[in-house]
Chains A and B, each alone.
Chain A
Amino acid sequence: MNYKILNKRISNKYNNDIPNGLYMFEIDKKSNTFEKFKLDKAEDDEFLDSNPSINKK
């Protein structure tokens, strides 16, 4: 992720351990969109349906 250190001169190399550094990250949730976990997918699990008689009279 891109960042800026607001109070230090920045070198080009990745540096995430500067004491008293104020790191600014610009977060945009539109760039973070994807399918969320769909928990109901578990119902399609072949093993769940493998023996429908289990625990049923």
Chain B
Amino acid sequence: MKIGLFLQEITLPKKKKDKIFYETLNLARDNNLDLLVFPEHFYCPEDEELENYAYLSYEIEENIEECDFDKIIDTFKKYSEIANCPILVSRADKYGFIYALYVSPYEENIKWYGKHIATDFSVFDITDYEEAVKEIFMPIDYKGYKIGVTICYDSTKPLFSRFYKAYGDIDILINLTGGHVDYKKWSIYQKARALENKCYNLCTMAYYDEGKRNKSYVFAYDGFGKK
């Protein structure tokens, strides 16, 4: 399975970012990638619209705000069609809830994940978490591979990766991180998740702040912890 990890630079002007974004989708298509992975808080040309969408339904001062789930999916589906393969993306919605989505151009199956820790609005806070948890940790079943997804700091705690095993062994774990991390710490977190789950562990992130001292990286380990 060919997996593309995009180490996205999002501090550039919009015009340049848009150009690189579409070039990346086209590269995925031209190289027959099976899956294209973007970082947490990834940039896309419809960034401003997505900022105003609610991923969940929210109750605000006794009013229910319906979620914009379908609009979000339509946007990402369009990108996956250009890439001609499923994409894995992560963003915050208008209330700060951080989600990851797996969207495929040729199947209706959608996988979602909500960030648990190091966030203002944790998926732990949703009212039906006890039910939702069954979906959150259901692996993607794709081309004979079981794939688990986590977001950023959730990869620093074994629980959130290990919980995918409730559905049996998994083959690949993918972590979507914001970026600008301590190399030593983050590489060890990723390696540990690969070793303890005996599976591949992949991670990508973004450059989102020119003033940050730490850099951003892609990481990949096999189940033996080999880089």
A residues touching B (Cβ–Cβ < 8 Å)?
1, 3, 6-7, 16-29, 31-32, 34, 36-37
Binary CB contact string for chain B from 126 to 153 against chain A (1 if under 8 A, 0 otherwise): 0000000000000000001100000000
In the complex, which of the residues B3, B7, B8 has the most CB atoms of chain A within 10 Å of its own CB atom?
A: B7
Evaluate contact between A25 and B198: CB separation under 8 angstroms. Answer: no
What chain A residues lie within 8 Å of B24 (beta carbons)? Answer: 7, 20, 22
Cα distance, A26 to B28, chains bound together (Å): 13
What chain B residues lie within 8 Å of A19 (beta carbons)? Answer: 7-9, 207, 216
The contact of B27 among A3, A6, A25, A29, by CB within 8 Å, is A6
Evaluate contact between A21 and B27: CB separation under 8 angstroms. Answer: no
Cα distance, A13 to B144, chains bound together (Å): 33
* B20 contacts the other chain (CB 8 A): yes
Known contacts: A1-B222, A32-B171, A34-B223. The answer to whether A6 contacts B7 by CB under 8 A is no
Chain A to chain B contacts (Cβ below 8 Å), 20 pairs: A1-B220, A3-B220, A6-B4, A6-B27, A6-B31, A18-B7, A19-B9, A19-B207, A22-B5, A24-B2, A25-B3, A25-B5, A26-B1, A26-B3, A29-B144, A32-B200, A32-B222, A34-B198, A36-B169, A37-B198
Give chain B's interface secondary structure class.
mixed
Give chain A's interface secondary structure class.
loop
What chain A residues lie within 8 Å of B199 (beta carbons)? Answer: 32
Cα distance, A57 to B204, chains bound together (Å): 56
Shortest distance from the beta carbon of B18 to any chain A beta carbon, whole Å: 13
